[in-house]
Structure 1
Amino acid sequence: DLRRMARGGLLPLSSEQGLELFDAAAALTDEAALVPIRVDTATLRVRPEMTPLMLRGLVRVPNRRKADAGTDRSQSFARTLLRLEAAEQEARVLELVRNEVASTLGHSSSEAIKPRQVFTDLGFDSLTAVDLRNRLNAVMGLRLPATLVFDYPTPEALAGFIRAEILGTHSESTTAVGATGTTADDPIAIVGMSCRYPGGVSGPKDLWRLLSTAGDAVTGIPSDRGWDVNALFDPDPDRPGTSYTREGGFLHDATHFDADFFGISPREAVAMDPQQRLLLEASWEAVESAAIDPASLRGSNTGVFTGLMYHDFAAYAAASAESLEGHLTTGTAGSVASGRVSYTLGLEGPAVTVDTACSSSLVA
């Protein structure tokens, strides 16, 4: 963090300097807000185009010449790309992006930057995102948005956008999926499936096995859910708050969720409705079932439509509100269920959760 600040022209303060500035600020009681900073103007002069707006008065930034120079750089880079084949263009822009990402994060080489690694996993936050945007603008003479690393969350995706921006060849990102035996008038083509059912069913093959062998999916009540199984049972079916049976259809592996795989912290995973966790797993597996790399869908116009009607986990989670505070809203909201899949896979199509009671899945 200190190195990043220094590259931006802001130097750390020693304890003595901080106290001196504090005393100076205390004497200026008529000022509404004071910011004690130590500025390295020599660094700001090296790359004036990267100087924050509020510090522009400390160095000369020739706006008109800067704008013209930016246009020249953009046109020059475009001419360079046009002389290359498409694959070479992609490699050239990706190399430039990886170099600037490495510099932003303080790496000595771009080797540490993988083309498909998500920027947030690399350690980017809002400050470094803007820093990278400024660097790319300066190098290529573009005017890129501050939300760049969030809109195009991997170096590969970002390089594709920049190449299209420079060459003026923007097009919708699409993924073609072929389904054997379909015709043009088929309203729905199922190219991949996944499922979870009681009886140890973790996929379509398991479901067929259960059906074809007339298997029994009814089991005892799981002991890993925090339920008091003994207090739950009562042979009287009319006693409120109890069950007159000790058996039922349960997903015994529902607690086995690999939160780290989906980039979710353990604490947030505990606050998530199990339906959200199962939906993430099933969505990933459904895409893999279609012989598609889930990572390849990032940035595509892929939609997620989820049927969801039960919201009883919210009451259970509320009992642990203190330990799960901060994650309960997103963890129990039905609207988040479809959006979480879109966010995790980087999908840019519609994300809709449908609750029409028993017809939810059908309507979705």
Structure 2
Amino acid sequence: MEAHDTKAVGAARVTPVSRAMETIRALREELAALKGAQPIAVVGVGLRAPGGIDDLDGYWSALASGTDAVRPIPESRRHPFGAAWDEVPHRGGFLDEVLEFDAPFFGVAPREGRALDPQHRMLLEVVQEALDDAGIPAARAAADGATGLYVGITGQDYREWMREGPDSYWATGNGHCFSAGRLAHTLGLTGPAMAVDTACSSSLVTVHLARQALRGGECDIAVAGGVNLVLSPHGTALAARTGALSPDGVCRPFDARANGFTRSEGCGIVVLKRLSDAVRDGDRVHAVIHGSAVNHDGRASGFTAPNVLAQTRLVERALAEAGLGPADIGHVEAHGTGTALGDPIEVEALAAALGGRTGTATPVLLGSAKANLGHTESAAGVLGLIKAMLSLRHRAVPPLPHFTTLNPRIDLAGTGMRIPTELEPWPAGAGAYAGVSSFGMSGTNAHVVLGAPEERPPDAPAAAAAPVPVTGFEVSARTPAALRAYATLLAGRLAGIKDEEYAAFAYTVTHGRSALATRIRVAATDRHRAAAVLTAVAEGLLPPEAEEVTAGAEPGFGELPRRVLDLPAYPWERRRYAPRDAEPAPAG
């Protein structure tokens, strides 16, 4: 019987089918290993930040100049709580207007729009802008069938605006889970979709989760980030009782005068793909994520107290995931909230993880966007990541506003770490990578290691930069008014590009944007003629070189190669949506 079994097994082992199955299994294992090990590309970015920041150029300009965007709450933002704001620290990184929203663009009815948390509204717009920046129309992301969505969100202040009595719109318009669910529903995404709340680390945790999902093959595109709005004084009152808020509303990371943080608002979204897929697909790569880690403080000295050992292990794990060492890090965008306890612990952990106090450590410049923006809480981590991405792009590290004297509890001796007080070139001899930290009051911590993209990937075709003849492009918007506004923006962009970038402009506006209801096809072989045609369209004219395109028709100019170029964001047609009984009384 044993001999018979052995013979049968041996026969089965050498059949063509078994050999084929073994080959398939081995190839699958190799593919899984490659997917798990490879870096992740940042291919699209969208953001909102205090100071009117809504694009990468504006963000870098503010950072490089050391701008402090913190201010008293605008009068227009006090309603419906009025004088209650005077009872709490009310300097912060406030956005100008957060109730305005282009509801029809996303198919949201007016009644539903009034009930929809402004954080969810902002996510809809910024996610759309991030996909646009990636040159991936929402319909294409949906058609791929494997686009994941990870949203960091903590506050629920808008519930306090509900005076009319609850209804179904308020229920689905304010829960955390519905922030991700609505995005996936509106955009038609069928991959993983979830909201994440780990307090201040939420948005960087979403980047880690998205990276893990991409490595594991759960999705081929991932959208990750977070949002935070301060819509009620009551949450600020609770935060003030913890002693974490700065009484004078100034965030001073690492400074001797540090006395807490100030609450702020913002949103940051990144679109991620496996680097090999991004190269294959001709995507523009903003930065490359090489490693990430998430852990918890565990049993620290207090529930909200940071743990130096946990933070050290966090950074070490992220470096190990990236296959890098301490000397490879030249810049750390720190959590850096400007608290007397948190800052020294964070620096001590970084010193331990990045080589100790040997006196031979390579230079590492420290920064924290909270000195510019305030603490954007559940959006802070991803805004810090975008800042580090920009530092890698410009090979420079911005100054830290409000820094004059090092916190006496912080010792940088022998660590190689220092704090820039002006825009500094990337230090000579420093590592080529940046680390980004974000720590939650819940105890959940995240760290991401990223680097600059290669100038040209080794396997990229040499013809990718060759001149391409262009015959024209298409532009679309939801309404004629929006089309005219968009034409104005695009004409201005054409004036600032190089002739050789015209093909990328034509591809991006035609195939890298969603085809909307009002659409024109422009015949123009160079950027100057294209700008003239768009200027005429902006004035309400339809010159001979422009023709209307039937809604639903396939885009033309299919011969254009995929090259993605920065273009102005879509011109949203916003109007104010607020509960009827929460609107301020008319003046006079």
- TM-score interval, smaller chain: 0.3 to 0.5
Q: What TM-score results when the alignment is normalised by the length of structure 1?
A: 0.44
More strand by share: 2
Larger Rg: 1
Q: What TM-score results when the alignment is normalised by the length of structure 2?
A: 0.28
